[in-house]
Amino acid sequence: MKRRAMAFVVLGAAVGLLASPASVSAFGRKKAAADDCAPCAAPAPCGAAPCAPAYTVSYVDQKVTAYKTENYTQDVKVVEYTQVASKEDYKYLVCVPVAKKQKVTVYETRTKEEGFKYTVNELVAVKDKVKVCEYTTVTKDVPYVTYECVPVVTKQQRTVYDTVCVPVTVTKVVEPPKPGLFARCCKKPDPCAPPPCPQVVTCTVMQKQCVARVVTVDVTTFTRVEKKGVQKVTQTVPVWTEREVTVQKCVPVEKAGTRTVCFTVPVEKEIDVQVMTQVEKTDTRTVYKTVPVEKVVKQTLCRVVPYETTVKVAVRTPVPAPAPAPCAAPCETPCAAPCAPAPCAPAPKRGCCRK
């Protein structure tokens, strides 16, 4: 990186030297300047000299020193780290069970016979005076009250509605009788021609009418009458009497017995005990180590190389001023417009000059 940075600095300095002239660029092209063509100051009066370019430009070859970058290959020593396997011995501890005799105290269970006393409740027949409840039948007079319903007849008035037939005179229209069935079958002529007209008949008809009347009737009512009496009632009455009876009572009685009792006795015994003992062992294992290894590798580098080249350089040469041109005729009347200034001479390989 340092070499590449140095190359870029040298290249920049060379390019600055080539571009130092004000009229030449880095690629040999002419720069546009304000003083290449002198501007016309003002419209020239009639008979004044025409405007001409102040300089002429020409291009010449010039040798310059330039710089370029180029790649080159170089052998470089590089240190690389590689893992190398190697065998080494190591020691480790292993717990191994070992049997050995050891005295320990063990508790054993044994039995023995021993006497003891206990209390037992036994039933004993004992005579005792107790109160006994006996029931006796007793007859006595008990008063009682009863009620009887006695009928009582009284006179009361009631309204009664009767249906009565009343004769009424009405007028009816009676139709003439029609010929019978046999008369119509025989097709005999009706002796009455034309047929008789209906007749109005007055008759008496019995019509039903409701008539109200007041009557006196016997009404029976019941009255409750209280009656008292005495009756004999038999009852069962409890009577407590004292009697001597035989009673079974629980009496505590002390007795003696024998029982088997278990107890523990400490006994020393020699037993086999497994004891873990550490034993040292040796073994071989593979170990990987990082080892530096020096190698020569090819690397591509960059450098700045100077070289000579030929470029076109612009050279400016001053041009003498031309003689003024005479007027064709004297100005009798003022010009309607001032004379236009003479155009500048075009520079080679350039556009129009700046105004």
What's the pLDDT tens digit per position in 275-290?
889 999 999 999 998 9
Percent pLDDT > 90 in the chain is: 12
Average pLDDT score over residue span 250-265? 91
Instruction: Name residues whose C-beta falls within 8 Å of residue 22's C-beta, 6 or more positions apart in sequence.
Output: 31, 33
Average pLDDT score over residue span 124-136? 86
pLDDT number for residue 330: 47
Instruction: Name residues whose C-beta falls within 8 Å of residue 36's C-beta, 6 or more positions apart in sequence.
Output: 53, 54, 55, 57, 316, 347, 350, 353
Which own/partner contact pairs does 244-248 have at CB distance under 8 Å and 24+ positions apart? 244/127, 244/128, 244/129, 245/127, 245/128, 245/129, 245/130, 245/132, 246/125, 246/126, 246/127, 246/128, 247/125, 247/126, 247/127, 247/128, 247/130, 248/123, 248/124, 248/125, 248/126
What is the band of 343 on the pLDDT scale with cuts at 50, 70, 90? Answer: very low
Q: Is the pLDDT of residue 36 over 50?
A: no
Q: Is the pLDDT of residue 179 over 50?
A: yes
Average pLDDT score over residue span 3-9? 52
Instruction: Give the N- to C-terminal CA distance of the chain in Å, as an integer.
Output: 51
Q: Which residue has the tokens 């520079």?
A: 347
Per-residue CA distances from 337 to 285, 340, 355 (Å): 114, 9, 20
What is the band of 4 on the pLDDT scale with cuts at 50, 70, 90? Answer: low
Distance CA 312, CA 64 (A): 10
Mean pLDDT of the chain: 76
pLDDT number for residue 275: 86
pLDDT number for residue 280: 92
What the block records as the tokens of 91 is 């020691």
Percent pLDDT > 70 in the chain is: 70
What the block records as the tokens of 212 is 């109200």
What secondary structure letter does DSSP report for 5? H
Q: Is the pLDDT of residue 27 over 60?
A: no
Q: Residue length, the chain?
A: 355
Q: Which sequence spans correspond to the domains of the chain?
A: 2-31+57-87+295-318, 32-54+322-355, 102-275
Average pLDDT score over residue span 145-160? 89
Quick count: other Cβ atoms within 10 Å of Cβ 51? 20
What's the pLDDT tens digit per position in 188-223?
555 555 566 778 888 888 888 888 889 898 888 888
Distance CA 106, CA 99 (A): 19
